Amino acid sequence: MSKNLLIIDAGHNEYVAGKRSPDSSLLEWEFNDDMQRRVKKRSEEHGIEVFLTNPSPAKKNEIGLSTRCNLANNYWKNQGKPTCLFLSIHANALDDSWSSANGTETYVCNNCSNNSVKAAKLIQNQLVKDLGTRDRGVKYNNYYVLKNTSMSGCLAEVAFYSNKTEVEILKHKRNEITEAFVKAICAYFNITYIPPKSSNTTTTSQPSSNNSKFVKGDYNKPVKVTANELTVRSGRGVEFKELGILKKGEVVEIWHINTAKDGGLWGSLGYNGETGFINMSYVEPTNEKPKPVETLKPIQIGEYNAPLKVTADSLRVRAGRGTGFKEVSTLKKGEIIDAWTIDKGDDGKLWTSFRYAPSSTPETKGVGFCSCEYLEPCIK
Ligand SMILES: [Zn+2]
């Protein structure tokens, strides 16, 4: 079997100035380095040999573009010039501040081989498909590492870290980015792509299928959160105020889906009495029913008419509001009562009334009183 060689060139090193998101939450060298490790591991699982021109970019200055090219060219020659693809991995930025520029683009150099264009198209199309990013296309530019490497090659700009939505893709969709690269690399080498065995280790979301499932318009159906944490915002876009967080597996009903300023799809939902918005890339359609959104009622004097849960190991039920009254029953930890009216007892603390037994019970007619000290608001 002839050997397939993938040479990965991870862009930039830690001490290169700039090359970070405006909030410094994403460092481009770290993204490029993490991606090369992930793509290497998964490519090797497909029997592809992988060589890294820049295996350890941490705590280093730039190794130099000619060094990168020499390392690639020499390795390839020493291996007997096998079928080879040079892949330079980068993330994009417009400038040092947040902006709306977005999308994925892949570069080849002018007068490059047909195989370079073939690889670039495969990578570009797969990234766009799996990440749901805007397709900026395959572009021609005489980047040094493309012009001065002997084998077929391309340079991928996965997404913009100067864009608030896309920086989240670069931070949280690394499995998807990896698999998109590996699918394209397999297609390039004519190898059958094998999905990862443990696809549930980090993110299990499938944005490619999600994006095709969600379209603009009324939705009125439940969806399940696939990201570990999903921020609910006051508008369609990361520039809006945070209202709260949904956790992985939570089910919510989406009312309406529309595009945000950056082109991403956002859905509206009822959230704590307000209208909230979430990015639809991090949810999937589900048949599960959303949990009713109930807010816990604070314990205070007045009509309560809501459930309360026993927090003590055992809680005495008395015939009146206070420890001076006769004990009529006992509740166990975790038991839930339908509290009626909360008022001060003869001990100065809050007590609630509730029906602890059928009304046929003589004497008290089944109405009992408990100290609120050992009760907490709950959802039934
Ligand atoms: Zn770069």
pLDDT in tens, 182-208: 999 999 999 999 998 754 444 434 444
Average pLDDT over residues 8-33: 94
Nearest to 340 by CA among 360, 315, 326, 321: 321
Nearest to 365 by CA among 333, 320, 303: 320
d(CA 38, CA 55): 12
Average pLDDT over residues 153-180: 95
Q: Report CA(20)–ligand 1 centroid distance (Å).
A: 10
* Residue type for position 254: I
* pLDDT computed for residue 362 by the predictor: 58
Q: Report CA(62)–ligand 1 centroid distance (Å).
A: 12
List the single range of 111-120, 166-175, 357-366 with lowest mean pLDDT. Answer: 357-366
Residue 179 host element (H or E): helix 174-189
* pLDDT computed for residue 359 by the predictor: 58
pLDDT above 90 (res 274): no
Residue 231 host element (H or E): strand 229-233
Q: Report CA(44)–ligand 1 centroid distance (Å).
A: 24
* pLDDT computed for residue 208 by the predictor: 41
pLDDT above 80 (res 104): yes
**pLDDT band for position 361 (50/70/90)?**
low
Cα dihedral sign, 193-197-202-205: positive
d(CA 201, CA 42): 14
pLDDT above 50 (res 209): no
Average pLDDT over residues 82-99: 96
More confident position, 158 or 275: 158
pLDDT above 70 (res 340): yes
Q: In order of start, what are the domains of the chain with their CATH numbers?
A: 4-189 (3.40.630.40), 207-285 (2.30.30.40), 302-377 (2.30.30.40)
Q: Report CA(111)–ligand 1 centroid distance (Å).
A: 22
List the single range of 31-35, 124-128, 249-253 with lowest mean pLDDT. Answer: 249-253
pTM across the whole model = 0.55
Number of C-beta neighbours around residue 369 at 10 A: 24
Max Cα separation, the chain? 98
Q: Report CA(158)–ligand 1 centroid distance (Å).
A: 10
| Main-chain dihedrals φ then ψ at residue 296, nearest 5 degrees | -75, 135
d(CA 35, CA 156): 11
Q: Report CA(39)–ligand 1 centroid distance (Å).
A: 17
* pLDDT computed for residue 288 by the predictor: 86
Q: Report CA(37)–ligand 1 centroid distance (Å).
A: 17
Q: Report CA(19)–ligand 1 centroid distance (Å).
A: 7
Q: What is the pLDDT of residues 25-65, one digit of tens each?
A: 999 999 999 999 999 999 999 999 999 999 999 999 999 99
**Cα–Cα separations (whole angstroms), residue 176 to 179, 253, 255, 259:** 5, 25, 27, 22
**pLDDT band for position 298 (50/70/90)?**
confident
Q: Give the strand pairing for 83-92 and 4-10.
A: parallel
* pLDDT computed for residue 2 by the predictor: 64
Rounded mean pLDDT of the chain? Answer: 89
**Cα–Cα separations (whole angstroms), residue 316 to 22, 57, 189:** 59, 66, 74
Nearest to 88 by CA among 101, 111, 105: 105
Q: Report CA(11)–ligand 1 centroid distance (Å).
A: 5
Average pLDDT over residues 240-249: 88
